[in-house]
């Protein structure tokens, strides 16, 4: 029987999390987090979400998402297909990618962006057959805290003492007494995020969206580590702890440009790993663009090991001058 598509409503968030988990079981999607993201879209962003059904059974979750066109001259739009692995079939994937592509093109998108795991041969084949080209790669890493935890706790303590000696204080946001701390952290985030290797423009995040994001159910101020030089935050790192299911994951690590190359990013990331060890977390994951040499180097020296990463694909569907 033919596949049918229906728009997803907020109450489909849990179903979507289940479908995404069934599509890529080694990275489970957290239902609380999916619902939170759906309830808190970024200002100016547009999104379309759909459930694909066959014989009345939900078999896939599909979506398109793009930022404000006024800030994106390239008019790029992300498209997603999450097909339950029990139904995996290249022909079906091609049909679904074509369907979501037509929805994205109807938004007057000019460039489509699609991710797939490098360990998903059917997905890679379907995307290639539709003309999607590999643009970038992200490396995914896992750190076994039951194996490395004791060493990391000792390294975190030593790094803290060393930073202290150099006038850099490592502490959590919950411990930091500064009336303007969120605004300062927002600025650190905004300035550094443009230095993450990327091909497509990174849209400025509104302060209100940053506030919502940092207060997501998977983040806590007492697990958000920062490095301060006086009253200036110069680096940060935090782990995300999914409330229902999934792996603990590094959300973001950064250092202000003028402070790079002094071991501050490594020292602040170490605090998050030592804390996770003390909380009894068994493993943590992180991902980095394949061209992010300093971050890749930090992860290697911390003891992370590689897992299959992601491939970022692009497909031009209209020239930007058209």
Question: Which residues bind to ligand COA, rule: CB under 6 A?
Answer: 192, 195-196, 253-255, 260-266, 288, 292-295, 297-298, 301
What is the nearest approach in angstroms of ligand COA to the Cβ of residue 125? Answer: 28
Query: What are all long-range contacts of 260-264, with beta carbons under 8 Å and residues at least 24 apart?
Result: 260/294, 261/294, 262/166, 263/159, 263/162, 263/163, 264/163, 264/168, 264/227, 264/234, 264/235
Please, which residue, 75 or 262, has the CB nearer to ligand COA? 262
What is the nearest approach in angstroms of ligand COA to the Cβ of residue 234? Answer: 9
In what side-by-side order are the strands of the sheet with 305-316?
A: 4-7, 46-54, 57-66, 76-83, 111-117, 305-316, 133-144, 283-289, 248-255, 232-240, 224-229, 169-172
**Among 55, 56, 64, 49, CA closest to 16:** 49
Alpha carbon distance 322, 320 (integer Å): 5
What is the nearest approach in angstroms of ligand COA to the Cβ of residue 197? Answer: 7
Please, which residue, 243 or 263, has the CB nearer to ligand COA? 263
**Among 174, 165, 177, CA closest to 238:** 174
Structure tokens at 142: 């896992």
Please, which residue, 31 or 302, has the CB nearer to ligand COA? 302
What is the nearest approach in angstroms of ligand COA to the Cβ of residue 294? Answer: 4
Please, which residue, 29 or 253, has the CB nearer to ligand COA? 253
What is the nearest approach in angstroms of ligand COA to the Cβ of residue 257? Answer: 8
Alpha carbon distance 305, 136 (integer Å): 20
Please, which residue, 134 or 260, has the CB nearer to ligand COA? 260
Structure tokens at 273: 């790993």
Please, which residue, 169 or 262, has the CB nearer to ligand COA? 262
What is the nearest approach in angstroms of ligand COA to the Cβ of residue 271? Answer: 12
């Amino acid at each position: 029987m033919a596949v049918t598509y229906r728009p997803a409503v907020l109450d489909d968030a849990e179903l979507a999390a289940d479908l995404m988990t069934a599509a890529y079981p080694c990275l489970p999607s957290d239902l609380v987090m999916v619902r939170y993201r759906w309830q808190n879209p970024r200002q100016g962003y547009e999104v379309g979400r759909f459930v694909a059904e066959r014989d009345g059974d939900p078999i896939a979750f599909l979506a398109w998402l793009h930022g404000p066109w006024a800030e994106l001259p390239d008019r790029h739009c992300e498209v997603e297909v999450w097909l339950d692995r029990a139904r995996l079939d290249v022909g079906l994937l091609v049909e679904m990618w074509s369907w979501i592509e037509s929805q994205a093109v109807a938004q007057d998108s000019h460039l489509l962006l699609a991710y797939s795991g490098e360990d998903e041969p059917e997905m890679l084949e379907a995307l290639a057959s539709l003309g999607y080209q590999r643009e970038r790669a992200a490396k995914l890493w896992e750190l076994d805290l039951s194996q490395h935890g004791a060493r990391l706790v000792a390294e975190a303590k030593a790094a803290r003492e060393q930073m202290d000696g150099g006038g850099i204080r490592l502490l959590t946001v919950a411990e930091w007494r500064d009336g303007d701390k969120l605004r300062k952290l927002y600025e650190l985030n905004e300035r550094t995020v443009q230095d993450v290797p990327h091909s497509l423009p990174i849209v400025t995040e509104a302060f209100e969206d940053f506030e919502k994001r940092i207060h997501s159910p998977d983040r806590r101020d007492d697990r958000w580590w920062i490095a301060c030089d006086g009253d200036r935050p110069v680096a940060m790192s935090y782990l995300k702890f999914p409330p229902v299911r999934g792996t603990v994951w590094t959300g973001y690590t950064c250092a202000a440009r003028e402070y790079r190359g002094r071991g501050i990013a490594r020292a602040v990331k170490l605090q998050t790993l030592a804390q996770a060890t003390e909380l009894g977390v068994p493993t943590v994951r992180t991902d980095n663009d394949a061209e992010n040499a300093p971050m890749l180097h930090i992860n290697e020296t911390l003891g992370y090991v590689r897992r299959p990463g992601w491939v970022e694909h692009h497909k031009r569907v209209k020239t930007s001058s058209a």
